[in-house]
């Protein structure tokens, strides 16, 4: 694939990217769209891509030997469509009132179940995208589609950081910079 960034996972910790969503409801399927697009961009030796769909049992889709879990889903944080959020499992469990997922059984409940099963990978990062529409349809809205390259780059950076833990948050630059200690981290600077 010419011009595309490819991330290799050989010799590095195992990373699982879990895409959640319903492909039939436009932006609601953003996590699954992302996992499908990553398929040709990562070396599957160290990266597991999982289409979680709308399964309420996603904790069973993540293997126990995962060193880092990256969950991608539509998140209603009240911002403009296409806004990108990044937060950790700890951020979510500390603020139970935080809007996390648009599914009946949200990320918070799933992480709690995984913790009870002692299958919660460390660390867990959640990347959310503010949807515009969840009407019937197979395509993402133009606003969310325009942000997909940024979301893909953020996920690839998370995968790379699993191999090099010293890179941490200080390597995040540009429109995807983090905002300090905000519990629900909005990854874009507001104008």
Question: Average pLDDT in the 99-114 region?
Answer: 57
pLDDT at 149 over 70: yes
- Specify the number of domains making up the chain: 1
pLDDT at 34 over 90: yes
For residue 121, which of 59, 49, 72, 68 has the smallest C-alpha distance? 68
Residue that wins the pLDDT comparison between 164 and 96: 164
Decide if 4 is inside a domain. Answer: no
Question: Average pLDDT in the 131-159 region?
Answer: 97
Decide if 153 is inside a domain. Answer: yes
pTM: 0.75
Question: Average pLDDT in the 5-30 region?
Answer: 80
Decide if 5 is inside a domain. Answer: no
d(CA 159, CA 41): 11
Characterize the bridge pairing of strands 15-20 and 47-53. Answer: parallel
pLDDT digits (tens, 9 = 90+) for 37-47: 999 888 778 89
Give the pLDDT of residue 123: 82
* Strand arrangement of the beta sheet that strand 185-186 belongs to: 47-53, 15-20, 68-74, 124-129, 84-88, 185-186
Decide if 147 is inside a domain. Answer: yes
Question: Which CATH number does the domain housing residue 177 bear?
Answer: 3.40.50.1450
pLDDT range class, residue 168, cuts 50, 70, 90: low
Residue that wins the pLDDT comparison between 18 and 117: 18
Question: Average pLDDT in the 156-168 region?
Answer: 79
Residue that wins the pLDDT comparison between 126 and 111: 126
Q: What percent of the chain lies above the pLDDT cut of 90?
A: 41
Length of the chain measured in residues: 191
Most confident by average pLDDT, 1-10, 94-103, 116-125: 116-125
Give the pLDDT of residue 109: 64
Give the pLDDT of residue 64: 72
Decide if 51 is inside a domain. Answer: yes
Give the pLDDT of residue 111: 65
Decide if 109 is inside a domain. Answer: yes
pLDDT digits (tens, 9 = 90+) for 42-89: 877 889 999 988 876 666 667 777 889 999 999 988 999 999 999 887
Decide if 6 is inside a domain. Answer: no
Range of the domain at 26: 15-186
pLDDT at 22 over 60: yes
Burial zone of 44 (CB within 10 Å; 0-12 exposed, 13-18 middle, 19+ buried): exposed
Decide if 105 is inside a domain. Answer: yes
């Amino acid at each position: 694939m010419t011009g595309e960034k490819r991330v290799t996972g050989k010799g590095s910790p195992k990373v699982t990217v879990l895409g959640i969503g319903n492909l039939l409801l436009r932006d609601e399927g953003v996590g699954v769209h992302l996992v499908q697009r990553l398929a040709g961009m990562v070396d599957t030796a160290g990266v597991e891509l999982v289409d979680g769909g709308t399964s309420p049992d996603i904790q069973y889709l993540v293997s126990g030997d995962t060193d880092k879990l990256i969950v991608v889903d539509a998140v209603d944080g009240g911002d403009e469509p296409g806004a990108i959020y990044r937060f950790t499992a700890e951020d979510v469990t500390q603020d139970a009132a935080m809007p996390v997922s648009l599914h009946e059984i949200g990320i918070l409940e799933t992480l709690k179940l995984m913790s009870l099963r002692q299958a919660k990978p460390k660390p867990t990062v959640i990347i959310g995208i503010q949807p515009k529409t969840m009407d019937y349809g197979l395509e993402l809205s133009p606003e969310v589609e325009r942000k997909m390259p940024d979301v893909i780059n953020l996920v690839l950076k998370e995968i790379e950081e699993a191999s090099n833990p010293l890179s941490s948050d200080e390597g995040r630059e540009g429109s995807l910079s983090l905002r300090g200690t905000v519990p629900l981290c909005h990854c874009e600077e507001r104008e």
